[in-house]
Structure formats: structure tokens, C-alpha cells
Amino acid sequence: MEAENHTEVSQFLLLGLSDDPKLQPLLCGVFLCMYLFTVLGNLLIIVAISSDSHLHTPMYFFLANLSFVDICFTSTTVPKMLVNVQAQRKNISYIGCLIQVYFYMTFAGMDNLLLTVMAYDRYVAICHPLYYTVVMNPHFCGILVLISWFIVFWVSLLHTLLIRRLTFCVGTEIPHFFCELAEILKVACSDTFINNIVLYVSAVFLGVLPLTGILFSYSKIVSSLMRISSAGGKYKAFSTCGSHLSVVSLFYGTSLGVYLSSALTHSSLHNSIASIMYTVVTPMLNPFIYSLRNKDVKGSLKRLPNLAASCL
């Protein structure tokens, strides 16, 4: 009978960031504004790249994909949290939680792989400029993105199916504002050894290896730049990497902060606050980083009102 009660769990309770009723309107307002800024900022980047033929290059093709993934990444967690805060409830259905885990893993993995592909693009552009148009042709760029989607689709599906084999107690509480895989495994009532092994392997495959690829690409870029005698030439070549480096530092820096926070402290509040950095703050800042540091994107954004007026 006990095992039957475990398997019939129909929902979880997301404890969120705070139980203080006075903080709920503030949290709702802050996260709503951040979410709207994220969606609007990334949509502008996508529209600017799509509408400007000068930006139809591999670098901006990957950037448009990154902006789309960031919108989906934030939309996986924030809307449900806003609904719960506004309705003053904490529940999420079992199926809804599995769906959130699946899409969260998918878009987080795509962020990692796209940043790696963008680093490879910069490596080819700076270290092998004569072969750039041949290597980074539209067909190859499309294949890189499709392969990335294929990988994260199956990895996320594997995690979701492994969760399905676990049992949970009725009234299980998740000390987070969304269904994060690691937190779900902590509250399971059955053995999670296999789940944890797969989690560590996928963390290496979708986290450590992409970061290693990024560091390797930039080591080659720096080595190539050192052979350029002109200071102006070095600055011009490396300036194309500035925005990407900023996004990589922000994404992996906050992700590492979440890992260290969970490893060094058992406070669920600290873990939740740390998770906000890469699930909400990083996708919101990415469009500003690329628009502020990139002259081509800024120019395209300035031309958008004129383009909209001509269409009307």
C-alpha cells in the first residue's frame, strides 16, 4: 500500500523564493519585468538579424538561434512561477513538472552547445580567414544546429524517462521555484543512483566538454592574434569575440556559482537565488551585451523603425 501511495502522486509543491506575503507582489513585479525584457530584447535581436541582409552571416545566424533558445529557456520556468505567485499557490502537476524538466534540460543544453559552436565560428574566422566562407557555409551551419538539437533532445528525454521510474511521496515539496532535476532527485522516495550517474555524465557531456572546446578555440585565437604585428589589427580581430566572451563568462560564471552554492551550502534559498542568475538574468542580459558591443547589431536595430514604417 505504501508503494502504491508513492506512485500515485499527482503533483508537487514548489516552495519558491519566499513565504512572506508582503514580498509576493514585489517578486511578481520584478520577475515579470525581467521576463518581458528578456522576451522583447531577444525578439529584437532575431528581427534585426532576419531583416538585415548584412547580418545574414554564420555568426549572426548562431546569435539568432541563441536568442530564440534564451526566450524558450526563460519561458520554461518564469511564467509558471508568476502564475503561482499571483494565485498564491505552490502546486505543479506531476506531468507539468516532467515537461518543465524536459524543456529546461533541452534549452540549457542548447545554450551550452550554441556557445561552443559560436566559439568555433570565431576560431575559423580569425585563425583560418581564407577558408572561412568555405568551412562555415550555410549548409554546414544548419547541420551544426540540427546536431545540437538532436543531442539535447535525446539527453533530455533520457532524464525524463529515468524520472518516470522513480517514486515520490504524496505532498512532496521541492525547495525551488521550478522543477530542477537535481532538486527532484533529492526528494525522490526511491533509489536515484542511476539517475545521478546519468546526470553527472550528461553534465560532463553538455557542460565540461563544450567549455573545454570554447577554451581551446580561444587559446588558438589568442595564439593567432599574437602573431599579428599591428595593434589595430589585433583589436579589430578580437573585437568580434568580445560579445561572445562576455556571454560565455556570464553563462558559465553563473552556472559555476550555482554548482558551488549547492556544494558548499545546504540552504535551498541560496541555491534558488543562484539559479536565478543563469535562468533569468543571463538570458535577459545577452541581447544588451550583443547590441551594446556590436556596431552591426546596433546599426540594424536603429534601422528597424524605418523598416517598420516602410512596411506600413
Confidence (pLDDT) at 169 = 85
What 3-state class would DSSP assign to 190? coil
Domain contains 4: no
Q: Per the domain annotation, does 285 fall within a domain? A: yes
Within a domain: 248: yes
Q: DSSP state, 12?
A: E
pLDDT in tens, 255-276: 776 666 665 555 566 677 777 8
Tens of pLDDT, residue by residue over 52-78, are: 888 889 999 999 999 999 999 999 999
Tally of domains in the chain = 1
- Backbone Cα Rg of the chain: 21
Comparing 290 with 149, the larger pLDDT belongs to 149
Of residues 275 and 191, the one with the higher pLDDT is: 191
Q: Which of 98, 107, 226, 216 minimizes the C-alpha distance to 162? A: 98
Residue 3 lies in a domain: no
The alpha carbon of 181 is separated from its chain's Cα centroid by a whole number of angstroms, namely: 15
Q: Is residue 2 part of a domain?
A: no
Average pLDDT over every residue of 38-43: 94
> How far does CA 168 lie from the centroid of its chain?
28
Is position 112 within any domain?
yes
Q: What is the CATH number of the domain that holds 122?
A: 1.20.1070.10
Is residue 7 scored above 50 in pLDDT? no
Q: Is the pLDDT of residue 296 over 80?
A: no
- Provide mean pLDDT across the span 143-155: 97
> Residue 125's domain spans which residues?
9-311
Check residue 204 and report its DSSP letter. Answer: I
For residue 46, pLDDT beyond 60: yes
For the whole model, what pTM was predicted? 0.89
| Residue 72 resides in a domain | yes
Q: Is residue 284 part of a domain?
A: yes
Q: What pLDDT does residue 254 have? A: 74
Predicted local distance difference test score (pLDDT) of residue 6: 44
